[in-house]
Amino acid sequence: MNSIYQEIIIDHYKNPRNFGQLKKYDKKTLVSNPFCGDKMEMTICFTGNKIKDIKFKGIGCAISQASASMLTEYVKNKKKNQLVKLDKNFILKILKIELSPLRLKCALLPLEALKKITK
């Protein structure tokens, strides 16, 4: 793994973007990964069909927290129909690292929350 990408993941883990809970939100969801114990809550606020704001909080490994931080940064101001294309390959592309099957579940937890909350 390239050390620059490790540093980016560690930065997002230690200084997560969009961490917390929105005071006013349209939807809220909670997801968990029973294999590792990661838990994540996501709140979202829409303006029409566009994501106005999004936050996450919870406990988890560096991979799940960094993935959530990077994903929430990406989806702000996107329309719901733009989220349909987001999948496992997208998450791997933003993380820029190879993951074992168990770590992949960690990385995909925020995407699971996002898909659930934007239905």
**Per-residue confidence at 2, pLDDT binned at 50, 70, 90?**
low
Phi, psi of 87 (to 5 degrees): -150, -170
Q: What percent of the chain has pLDDT over 70?
A: 97
Q: Which of 43, 55, 52 is nearest to 19 (CA)?
A: 55
Q: Which of 73, 70, 81, 40 is nearest to 54 (CA)?
A: 73
Give the tens place of pLDDT for each residue, 105-119.
999 999 999 999 998
Please tell me the least confidently modeled range out of 11-15, 32-36, 55-59, 61-65. Answer: 32-36
Indicate which CATH number applies to the domain containing 113.
3.90.1010.10
Domain, as residue range, for 11: 3-117
Number of domains in the chain: 1
Q: In whole angstroms, what is the distance from residue 96 CA to residue 116 CA?
A: 24
